[in-house]
């Protein structure tokens, strides 16, 4: 059988409202999630035993056991495959890299092995894995386990920028101060990139202030993205995004804001999920 390749797109929290806290300490969220075509890549080949090779600019950040191997073991039940992860996205960066990699591994291996993904398996791997498996714009609630379809989003250019400082999600939530927010969803599909940006500008990422207190360079990146239609931090940081009218505007903006020591990438928001393809 030919190898199967699946992209693992960057997950963006276009909005992120912290709306409460459970008795066990986990925070409750309401977030609009979308995906960019800036991505890692997972490739799975037939093999007798399970193995993982990691390549790409951030390969050295992946050590030992990780979500890709965990996904393969949970799905495969002893089946073998040679998996290669091309790690293009920075780790611990607020764009769901590990979760998206795990979801891509599930998609690739389910096709390679000819088996279905059990409905409860993605959530066992992590709160973000279910939405990364869906790979469409979604409203995310609870601690990430409650998903509802969001309105269709227009295609638009996007720039991602990160100061290459890992930022642990628990640390950001611990540093957060202030009252809880309320959900602020919308139901009508925005007509274009400018309309989407206006909706995002009227909403928030409630973790931004806490993340900047831990990594001040986030404020520098947001300032560098001021020429975008809207600029926000994604998730718990440290990656920030800027939305642009189209991919060409995004490409030019990425070139203009590049700084030594920053990771900057340009692409576009995507609505349809990329399919698994034979390599």
In the chain, % helix, strand, coil (3-state, to 5) comes to: 30, 30, 40
SS3 103: helix
- Our answer to whether residue 87 is catalytic in this structure is no
E strand or H helix that includes residue 30: strand 27-46
CA distance 243 to 169: 24
Is-contact 98 89, C-beta < 8 A? no
231 vs 237: CA distance, rounded Å = 13
- What distance, in Å, lies between the first and last C-alpha atoms of the chain? 10
Handedness of CA 266, 18, 32, 62 (dihedral sign): positive
Q: What are phi and psi of 271, to 5 degrees?
A: -95, -55
Say whether 142 sits in a helix, a strand or coil: strand
206 is catalytic: no
DSSP 48: S
The active-site residue out of 30, 40, 101, 128 is 128
State how far the Cα of 139 lies from the Cα of 149, in Å rounded to an integer: 6
Catalytic residue among 11, 40, 87, 206: 11
Q: Which residues are catalytic?
A: 11, 128
């Amino acid at each position: 059988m030919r190898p199967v390749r699946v992209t693992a797109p960057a997950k963006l929290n276009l909005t992120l409202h912290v709306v409460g806290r459970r008795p066990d300490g986990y925070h409750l969220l309401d977030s609009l999630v979308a995906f960019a075509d800036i991505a890692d890549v997972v490739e799975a080949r037939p093999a007798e035993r399970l193995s993982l090779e990691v390549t790409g600019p951030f390969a050295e950040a992946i050590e030992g056991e990780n979500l890709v191997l965990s996904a393969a073991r949970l799905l495969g039940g002893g089946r073998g495959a040679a998996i290669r992860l091309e790690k293009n996205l920075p780790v611990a960066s607020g764009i769901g890299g590990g979760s998206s990699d795990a979801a891509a591994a599930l998609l690739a291996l389910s096709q390679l092995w000819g088996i279905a993904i059990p409905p409860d398996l993605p959530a066992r791997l992590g709160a973000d894995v279910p939405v990364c498996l869906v790979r469409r714009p979604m409203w995310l609630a609870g601690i990430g386990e409650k998903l509802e379809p969001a309105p269709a989003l227009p295609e638009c250019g996007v720039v991602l920028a990160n100061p290459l400082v890992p930022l642990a999600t628990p640390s950001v939530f611990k540093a957060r101060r202030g009252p809880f927010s309320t959900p602020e969803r919308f139901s009508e599909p925005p007509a274009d990139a400018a309309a989407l940006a206006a909706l995002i500008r009227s909403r928030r990422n409630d973790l931004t202030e806490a993340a900047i207190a831990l990594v001040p360079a986030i404020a520098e990146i947001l300032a560098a993205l001021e020429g975008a239609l809207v600029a926000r931090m994604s998730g718990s940081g440290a990656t920030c995004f800027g939305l642009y009218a189209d991919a060409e505007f995004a490409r030019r903006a990425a070139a203009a804001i590049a700084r030594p020591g920053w990771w900057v990438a340009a692409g576009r928001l995507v609505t349809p999920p990329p399919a698994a393809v034979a390599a």
